[in-house]
Amino acid sequence: MEMKNNHLFLVLFLCFSLGTNLSIGGYTISMNESVSSGQTILSSSGTFELGFFTPGNSFKYYLGIWYKNISSQTVIWVANRETPVSDAAHLTIIQGNLVLLDKFQSLVWSTNISRSVPPKNLVIAVLRDDGNLILSDLSSNSSTPLLLWQSFDYPTHAFLPGGKLGYDKRTQRKQALISWKDLNDPSPGLFSMELDPQRDQLVIKWNRTTQYWASSSWNGRTFSSVPGMRLNYIFNYSYIDNENESYFTYSLYNSEIPSKFIMDVSGQIKQLLWSTSLDDWYPFWAQPTEQCDVYANCGAFGVCNNVNSSCNCLSGFKARSDAEWNSNNYSSGCVRVRDQEVQCNGITEDKDSFWMNSIVSLPASQDTNITVAEASQCRSACFNNCSCNAYTYDVSGACSIWTGDLFNLQQLSKTETEKTIFVKSGSPEDQTKAKKSTKLVVLLSSTTAFIVLFIGSFSYIYYRRRRRRMTKGTDRINDTQGTQISHLDKIGGGEIIDVPYFRLETILVATDNFSNANKLGQGGFGPVYKGIFPGGKEIAVKRLSSHSGQGIDEFKNEVTLIAKLQHRNLVRLLGYCINGKEQILLYEYMPNKSLDTFIFDGELCKLLDWKKRYDIILGIGRGLAYLHHDSRLRIIHRDLKTSNILLDQDMNPKIADFGLARIVEGRRTEAKTEKIVGIYGYMSPEYASDGLFSLKSDVFSFGVVILEMISGRKNTGFYQSEEALNLLGYAWRMWIEERAMQLTEKSLLESCNRSEVMKCINVALLCVQEDSNDRPKMSDVIVMLVGEGDTISANKSLSFGETIVSSGEKFELGFFKPAQTKAKKSMKLKALLSSITALMFLIIGSFSYIYYRRRMAKRADRSKGTQGAHKSHWHKAEGEAKVLMNENSDEAIDVPYFHLETILAATDNFSNANNLGQGGFGPVYKGIFP
């Protein structure tokens, strides 16, 4: 009886100490119980669930733990990942071990506890609320249960808050995260992550051997080379190093947010949080940041595209598995078009012995380096080596030879230094057939290109003519006289720009000859005036000064960029004008002028309470994030400041002045200039000193703007000399000394939300860090700003709002698998080529005929004298220009205009005899033209 009471006490103690309500069949597995297919056990709060699952469309069963209340099943631990079972398997406790038995009662998996546990001891398994499955002996003489085993010590592909990733110095056992083989196969994949205890850093390996990424060493707070780890209020990272073990772990300040740290099938380690608004996992950070930096991402002989992270095969190769490539799994790589080994003995070298592949980065390491006098010697050295797969040669005489499979090839952008590798093509039969098919492909491509060029030129001429008519119509609504002069080609370098051109006379009338009464202010490149077109439409006219330093290049840059951008937080360009030395831009009118007008004025600043300022900060951030990540172009603004933030009638912010903006392509995020322009208070350190600008330069400027909006002080004119030389230094000192709220402008103290102010100050300080690598991306800035929560003190974290945009996701813009045409199909291809050519010419002929007939019909219709009054809306009727305008876009509509007299005659003065019926907006009549 005493023993039974002791057991009962230990069971109750375990329940309370582990935070789990012990209930047979609910949260535990006892020695006389088992879990079979269709049965599960839950943690006490219902957060985690243990049971059998079948990934994807598989019929294989795995024992695992997953999040219970997340819409997409998220498995975080798998017991039998190498040995799946059927649905007749079950989990139970035998001789103190958790064991998984198949339908034949054979052992599949076990906790494999080496120490012996007496059969009479009470051993129990409990699934805790932190996702840890523990096995404990309740019969211990100790007052606390004896822990026998826990899943946290044996992570598979993921580990949760409170878990460990490390090295046991006593047993020499390493813990590692090993990726799944693919998204629907939990068996061990190619990628693994572990802790290097010698260097105190995380490393990722391919195939358990080849290391391709390593973090920096632990600096006491984080691994500093992982920007997402630094200065955040969501995760608390720790590194423990003592005489027994070294391990890395983490926790959440808000433990209610589901999270996971995984070694992903993509070859990246990812820290993810569950977003209820997105109903998906949000990647907080990932390393390596670029998919193409993952070792063997595209497999053997595959080339990774840096722009969209897709893969294609080298010339002469094809995908090894079409099914895998179609599912975006490229790890199987490529094989030669003909599945034969490369032959060399007894074969004569010719010009088709190698495939030339340009604009690719070279494989990781070559097998042989030799010095030769000329390229032909390097070529022969590879050709005569039956094991050689590829070679490179440079003008210095360096010859590199690769004998194994080629991995880590990357497609470079055209702006990067071109590198060429020559890959052995295969057998002579391959070469002969390849030559024939290549000629056929060239012929087919040439014919297709000619046809496309013809259609494109035809369409371009038609579009140009149509745009010219529309531009003239737009200008004449503003009482223009004389001939319309188009400057579209002068601005866009031959590219049609969808921005109306206005004559100088029209603008002079609208601004009252640039009178001082209409002057709105003075920008960095010249004055800005208010203008009013006939009909009352208000515009802002930016007149570039000849002394401003903004030349025709900057002017062209601003016109072409804004014409291609559409976002609610970017100012809209309505038109432009070039006349002699006059360079003028027409924008939508912003009645509340610029942001600096309010925040630096002692009285006007009171009109912007904290809610409005917070909305403005978010608006500027979203506009900047659009420029950096979401627009068709990746754009660096380079001149973000409060005077370039305009406010509409509802105080919505609009980023303006794109004269200094630059476009960056591909993976590039930075550039350099010798001409440093802008306001030093908003310039990042690297730009001000070395002319280096990047996306992170705009992030720095954004941080300055936030601090100025909160403090109401200019960074450049800051005079708190006893505290710091500028606003940024002062803000850092206030933050470190936990006096950050002292930055807040006095007029905001009553209306401000303290947690939002502190959050914004924190984000601003992250943005203005001296090292550009430490600054967050704008997409991450938006996530931090829209995060929900009462406070950002050390025991709270930021959650996610409805405007989270998934970042770090790999957008598949499409992948390209080169297919080599076989010689035996050459006749079919020739016939296909002839058919396509004939069909295309038939289409072109038909298109041209239809266009000609329609144009002749329009001319005939317009030439008719409809009582002498029917005119196109592009021509003057009775001395007055008539153009139908779209109310919402200022765009001229290409629809013929008819005089009222013509319509009255056609309908017999709207007689009842011609009334066809009543429409929703009025009656409909039948009319007859002469």
Let me know if 475 is a catalytic residue.
no
Q: What distance in Å separates the CA atoms of residue 666 and residue 321, rounded to the nearest whole number?
A: 28
Q: Is residue 462 part of a domain?
A: no
pLDDT of residue 365: 67
Helix (DSSP H) and strand (DSSP E) numbers for the chain = 16, 49
Residue with tokens 């330069």: 697
Give the residues across from 36 on adjacent strands. 90
pLDDT tens track for 247-273? 999 999 888 889 999 999 999 999 998
Share of the chain above pLDDT 70, in %: 72
- On the question of pLDDT at 899 being above 50, the answer is yes
Residues 753 and 645 in one domain: yes
Q: Is residue 870 part of a domain?
A: no
- On the question of pLDDT at 498 being above 90, the answer is no
Residues 242 and 328 in one domain: no
Residue 673: pLDDT band (50, 70, 90) is: low
Q: Are 620 and 655 in contact (CB under 8 A)?
A: yes
**Residues near 242 by beta carbon (within 8 Å), at least 6 away in sequence:** none
Higher-confidence residue of 718 and 234: namely: 234
Higher-confidence residue of 453 and 145: namely: 145
Residue among 137, 475, 639, 657 flagged as catalytic: 639
Give the residues across from 662 on adjacent strands. 636
Of the ranges 180-194, 454-468, 731-745, 821-835, which is most confident?
180-194
pLDDT tens track for 867-884? 333 333 333 333 333 333
Q: Are 66 and 48 in contact (CB under 8 A)?
A: yes
Residue with tokens 């001000």: 688
- On the question of pLDDT at 35 being above 50, the answer is yes
Question: If we measure between CA atoms, which residue out of 113, 263, 87 comes closest to residue 188?
Answer: 263
CATH number of the domain within which 109 lies: 2.90.10.10
Phi, psi angles (nearest 5°) of residue 328: 65, 25
Q: What angle do CA 92, 93, 97 make, to 5 degrees?
A: 125
Q: Return the half-sphere exposure (C-beta side, CA atoms, 13 A cut-off) of residue 921.
A: 0
Please provide the average confidence, as pLDDT, over all residues in the chain.
77
Token pair listed for 564: 């291609």
- On the question of pLDDT at 507 being above 80, the answer is yes
pLDDT tens track for 559-608? 777 777 888 899 888 888 888 778 888 988 888 888 998 998 888 888 89
Token pair listed for 486: 């188009």
Q: What angle do CA 169, 173, 174 make, to 5 degrees?
A: 100
pLDDT of residue 493: 47
CA dist 323 → 329, 330, 332, 333 (Å): 9, 10, 11, 12
pLDDT of residue 623: 93
- On the question of pLDDT at 92 being above 90, the answer is yes
- On the question of pLDDT at 139 being above 90, the answer is no
Residues 677 and 693 in one domain: yes
Domain-ending residue, one of 379, 396, 426: 426
CATH number of the domain within which 273 lies: 2.90.10
pLDDT of residue 523: 65
CATH number of the domain within which 312 lies: 3.50.4.10
Residues 150 and 167 in one domain: no
- The H or E element spanning position 706 is helix 695-711
- On the question of pLDDT at 15 being above 70, the answer is no
Residue 669: pLDDT band (50, 70, 90) is: low
Residue 465: pLDDT band (50, 70, 90) is: low
Lowest mean pLDDT among 306-320, 510-524, 549-563: 549-563
Looking at 605-745, which runs of residues are DSSP E strands? 634-636, 645-647, 653-655, 662-664, 670-672, 692-694
CA dist 756 → 617, 702, 752, 761 (Å): 11, 17, 8, 9
Residues 346 and 230 in one domain: no
- On the question of pLDDT at 713 being above 50, the answer is yes
pLDDT of residue 858: 60
Q: Is residue 165 part of a domain?
A: yes
pLDDT of residue 543: 87
Mean pLDDT of 855-866: 53
Q: At what angle do helices 727-736 and 754-767 cross, to 10 degrees?
A: 120
CATH number of the domain within which 684 lies: 1.10.510.10
Mean pLDDT of 177-201: 93
SS3 414: coil
Residues 59 and 24 in one domain: yes
- On the question of pLDDT at 101 being above 90, the answer is yes
Residues 316 and 251 in one domain: no
- On the question of pLDDT at 9 being above 70, the answer is no
Give the residues across from 542 on adjacent strands. 528, 585
- Whether the ω angle into residue 288 lies within 30 degrees of 0, i.e. cis, is yes
Residue 650: pLDDT band (50, 70, 90) is: confident
Mean pLDDT of 175-189: 94
Q: What distance in Å separates the CA atoms of residue 572 and residue 563, rounded to the nearest whole number?
A: 8
Residues 312 and 277 in one domain: no
pLDDT of residue 768: 92
Residues 411 and 281 in one domain: no
Q: Is residue 500 part of a domain?
A: no
Which conformational region is residue 383 in: left (phi greater than 0), alpha (psi within -120 to 50 degrees), or beta? alpha
Residues 371 and 405 in one domain: yes
Q: Is residue 433 part of a domain?
A: no
pLDDT of residue 442: 67
Phi, psi angles (nearest 5°) of residue 74: -120, 100
Lowest mean pLDDT among 378-387, 463-472, 841-850: 463-472
Share of the chain above pLDDT 90, in %: 27
- On the question of pLDDT at 667 being above 70, the answer is no
Give 174's DSSP letter: E
Token pair listed for 182: 């693919």
**Residues near 37 by beta carbon (within 8 Å), at least 6 away in sequence:** 52, 61, 87, 88, 89, 90
Residues 149 and 169 in one domain: no
Query: Residue 516: exposed, middle, or buried by beta-carbon count in 10 A (0-12, 13-18, 19+)?
Result: exposed
Which conformational region is residue 335 in: left (phi greater than 0), alpha (psi within -120 to 50 degrees), or beta? beta
Higher-confidence residue of 499 and 541: namely: 541
When divided into structural domains, the chain yields a total of: 5
β-strands 582-588, 573-579 pairing = antiparallel
Mean pLDDT of 683-712: 89
Complete DSSP assignment for 569-623: TBPPEEEEEEETTEEEEEEE--TT-BHHHHHTSTTGGGGS-HHHHHHHHHHHHHH
Domain-ending residue, one of 154, 184, 203: 154
Residues 170 and 308 in one domain: no
Q: Is residue 605 part of a domain?
A: yes
pLDDT tens track for 291-328? 888 999 899 999 988 777 789 898 888 999 888 888 77
Q: Is residue 135 part of a domain?
A: yes
- On the question of pLDDT at 51 being above 90, the answer is yes
pLDDT tens track for 786-834? 875 433 332 232 222 222 333 333 333 332 333 333 433 455 566 666 6
pLDDT of residue 366: 66
Domain interval for residue 165: 156-289
Domain-ending residue, one of 726, 760, 785: 785
SS3 519: strand
Q: Which amino acid is at 486?
A: S
Q: Are 691 and 674 in contact (CB under 8 A)?
A: yes
Q: Is residue 822 part of a domain?
A: no
pLDDT of residue 737: 82
Q: What distance in Å separates the CA atoms of residue 283 and residue 261, rounded to the nearest whole number?
A: 10
Looking at 366-518, which runs of residues are DSSP E strands? 368-371, 390-393, 398-402, 409-411, 421-424
Question: If we measure between CA atoms, which residue out of 558, 494, 467, 561 comes closest to residue 891?
Answer: 467
